[in-house]
Structures are given as structure tokens and as C-alpha cells.
Amino acid sequence: MLRYERRKRPDRWHELRARVKYRWAIPFVAFKWGWDWLAFLLSNWSFLEVLEYLGSFSVLAGVIFYFSESRDRIMQRHYQAWQVINTAQGKGGSGGRIDALQELNRDKVPLVGVDVSSAFLQGLKLEGANLLRADFSAADMRGSDLTGADFAYADLHAANLRGSDLEHASFEHANLNEADLVGSDLAGARFDGADLGGVDLRHADLRDVQWQQLKNIRMANIAGAKNAPAGFVAWALKNGAVQIEENGE
């Protein structure tokens, strides 16, 4: 920002001329002297000072308007993110849904009932997301970070969550039938009323999972599951789970 200040009155020409040692420098000194006088005269023009104050005021007004409209900009951003998600509903590929979902979750927008079935969402990051009754069926979410996400009553059947971080996620009453959870981190996850029929839990970390109220675990593959709570493996096998290590895994 420019700072307005009055300038010192330039010397008279004969005084300045007397101090010039070389004749060839006189035109240059005269040129500068002319501009010094112009600057001096303008610095005493009150209109310019008023213009400077108005310029400062306009900057302040711009800042005020920017923050006063911030809520509208956020709402517009959220609307565009939902539009991306809803337009691509039922289609394969990403279609910009990864960025849209992550942006909404960063802004603490509940993703209740979101439908991203069959979407390509590898590496999705939705820590602590509210995904109540969401539809992730057949979605490819390998290597995702879903720490602390709430999947209560969600549809995750045939979803690929291989190698994902699901620590402390809630799957209460969720449908995980035929889901791929190979090598995933399920430490502290809740499965009250969940359907794990046919789910692939090979080499998954089951430390401290809440499994006592599981609805179904028939044909779930628990081969190589790590840190399983006391009694879980025996209960799972008794209720139809299997332990089958496939070649190449």
C-alpha cells in the first residue's frame, strides 16, 4: 500500500545549477529537477490524499465482503461436490467422486445415504466419516483410510477393502456379505448385528474387534487372521466360517 506524505520543496534552479560540476550533466539534473517539482506540487494536492484514503477503504471493504460471503462459497462448493457424486451414481470409475467425498468429509458434512456403488475409489481417505446407510456395494476401495468411519446399516456387500485401514470403524448392522477384507486393519472395529457371510478376512488384523453380536459369519474365510480376540476363531468355525489359504496369496 502506498503511503501518502508531503514532499520537501525542491531547491531553486540557480542554487541547484551552481552545484553541478560538469556541463554535460546539466540536462539530466534539469530533467530530475522538473520531476521533483511535479512530485512536490502533487504531494500538496489534497485530492490525492483523499484518493489514497478511499483506496485503503476499498481494500477494507473487500476483506469484509470476502469473509461475509465465505459461507455462500462453502455452500456452493458442497453443492458442486454433491452434484459430482450424484451425477456419477451407479457408474464405474471415479468420476471425481474421491475428491468430492473427501472435501465434504473435511468440512464435516455427513455422508449419510451416499450411493457410490461399483465406483473406483482406491486410496479413499474418509477418516471419521458419517456413512450411515451408505451404499458402497461392489466399490473398489483398496488401500483406503477409513479410520473411525461409521458404516452403521451400510451396504458393503462385494466391496473390495483389501489392505485398508478400518481401525475403530463401526459396522453395526452393516451388510459385508462377500466383501474382500484381506490384510485390512480392523483393530477395535464394531460388528454388532453385522452380516459377514462369505467375507474374506485372511491376514486381517482383528485386534480388539467387537464380534460378540455378529449376525452371520457363515463361509467367511478367517485363515491367517491376526490378533483375533479370545474365543473368536472357535466361535467363527463353529458357526460356519472356514480357514482356507489359497495358492498365490
Cα–Cα–Cα angle for 107, 108, 112, rounded to 5 degrees: 125
Q: How many Å separate Cα 213 from the centre of its chain?
A: 34
Q: Where are the domains of the chain?
A: 13-68, 91-249
Domain 91-249: CATH superfamily is: E3 ubiquitin-protein ligase SopA (2.160.20.80)
Query: In this predicted model, what pLDDT tens digit does every residue of 3-36 receive, in sequence order?
Result: 545 567 777 777 766 776 777 777 777 777 777 7
Q: DSSP secondary structure string, 112-157?
A: TT-B-TT-B-TT-B-TT-B-TT-B-TT-B-TT-B-TT-B-TT-B-T
Residue 45 clears pLDDT 80, i.e. is over it: no
Chain mean position to CA 123: 12
- pLDDT tens digits, 94-121: 889 999 999 999 999 999 999 999 999 9
Computed over every residue of the chain, the mean pLDDT equals 86
How far apart, in whole angstroms, are the C-alpha atoms of residue 209 and residue 147?
Answer: 14
